[in-house]
Amino acid sequence: MALRTLDSLGSLGGRAVVVRCDLNVPLKDGEITDDGRIRASLPTIQALLDENARVTVISHLGRPDGTPRDEYSLAPVAERLGELLGMSVHFDSAPAAETPKDLGDGEVRLLENLRFDPRETSKDAGEREQYARELAKFGELFVSDGFGVVHRKQASVYELATALPSAAGLLVADELEVLERLTTNAQKPYTVVLGGSKVSDKLGVIDSLLPRVDSLLIGGGMLFTFLAAQGHKVGASLLEQDQLDTVREYLSRATELGVEIVLPTDVVVAEKFAADAKSEVTPADGIESTAFGAAGIGLDIGPETAARFAEIVAASATVFWNGPMGVFEFPAFAEGTRTVAEALTRVDGLSVVGGGDSAAAVRALGFEDDQFGHISTGGGASLEFLEGKTLPGLEVLGWQP
């Protein structure tokens, strides 16, 4: 069965529609530092408003653990959403259990953080169903457009889609189309770039994609477990001892499959984990030979490695990248991530930035969204899809792999 899309809902003029978006944006001192997820939600909201629907937007923000907390209020998001839409957005901080106020045709409101109510993420299906029924009072139709949460069985993602006639929004449909291209119809050469802290976070996606790709490039904190698996000393760098045998198995399997796993040949090693730490570039097999000895900590791939990664990426027809190459939040250790990101902008084909920290990194480093083929809004959801897992929020909308 195919994914139900907006067209399946029929005429929307004057109808009340609840839209589940993912407006989980980063905030600092009450200010939004990256509005990428709000912008990604605009096409669906605008499409509904263009048809004169009465739109109630719902979302979560952070992890308030079922308790209203000012620092997790969606009030700043309502203000920014209104600016981007060029219209007033009503912000409703009342509990969902209260009788909703009427909206006029072509008007939009945003409800307060869904996770202020513990039933949103409850493990008890009955509690989630009860909360979904309260949310359903805000509309006669439901549009699911929060791709970043479709891998969660939560009240506003799963149960609400069964309480009202439901369909996927434009963002979810677009994300799904791109991810299906990565798993079923990827043009060659196909390169996957993986970074981030831990190998254990990427086991499923490595298992799933290894037989499909031509090259797998490894950076970020996880690279040190790969180096250690080859017998190299890694100082005080991140290391998952319990994954060494698994990594050796990946290296062996890649050889059998004819897949090139490209590991760093040089790394940037610092005396400590700090933005102003002294650092040295050293060969990957000489991490403990720096002035910092066994106390040295690897915080980025080196320039030789970055250039090699960029060469492979730019020559690929399909690239999926998930996870920064180093501690990009520290300018001194952001160059590896910057170099890989720049190479993705030169891909003559499909370049996909896999959400989460990768999306935050490219924006923090000054790149524009339209320089890439696609920036996913859901890091965890993207990875679980690529792992071949069932995503409840897609399944309830009729999608089957």
Please indicate if the annotation marks 357 as binding a ligand: yes
Please indicate if the annotation marks 356 as binding a ligand: yes
Q: DSSP letters of 152-169?
A: S--IIIIIHHHHS-EEE-
- Out of 296, 356, 379, 393, the active site residue is 356
Environment class of residue 10 by beta-carbon count within 10 Å: exposed (0-12), middle (13-18) or buried (19+)? exposed
Please indicate if the annotation marks 219 as binding a ligand: no
Identify whether the C-beta of residue 147 lies closer than 8 Å to the C-beta of residue 345.
Answer: no
Please indicate if the annotation marks 60 as binding a ligand: yes
CA distance 272 to 282: 15
- Out of 198, 212, 253, 272, the active site residue is 198
Give the CA dihedral 63, 67, 69, 71, nearest 10 degrees.
0
CA distance 283 to 286: 5
CA distance 400 to 385: 12
Please indicate if the annotation marks 373 as binding a ligand: no
Residues near 88 by beta carbon (within 8 Å), at least 6 away in sequence: 82
For residue 296, indicate whether it is catalytic. Answer: no
Please indicate if the annotation marks 128 as binding a ligand: no
Please indicate if the annotation marks 63 as binding a ligand: yes
- Look up residue 277 and give its two tokens: 């730490």
CA distance 270 to 146: 39
- Out of 37, 128, 153, 308, the active site residue is 37
Sheet strand arrangement including 108-111: 89-92, 108-111, 54-58, 16-20, 141-144, 166-168
SS3 147: helix
Single-letter amino acid, residue 80:
R
Please indicate if the annotation marks 388 as binding a ligand: no
Please indicate if the annotation marks 308 as binding a ligand: no
- Out of 204, 373, 380, 398, the active site residue is 380
Please indicate if the annotation marks 376 as binding a ligand: no
- Look up residue 255 and give its two tokens: 């050889």
Please indicate if the annotation marks 329 as binding a ligand: yes
CA distance 87 to 85: 5
For residue 37, indicate whether it is catalytic. Answer: yes
Residue 168, phi-psi category: left (phi > 0), alpha (psi -120 to 50), beta (remainder): beta
Please indicate if the annotation marks 355 as binding a ligand: yes
Annotated binding site: 22-24, 37, 60-63, 115, 152, 202, 298, 329, 355-358
Q: Which residues are catalytic?
A: 37, 198, 356, 380
Annotated binding site for substrate: 22-24, 37, 60-63, 115, 152
Annotated binding site for ATP: 202, 298, 329, 355-358
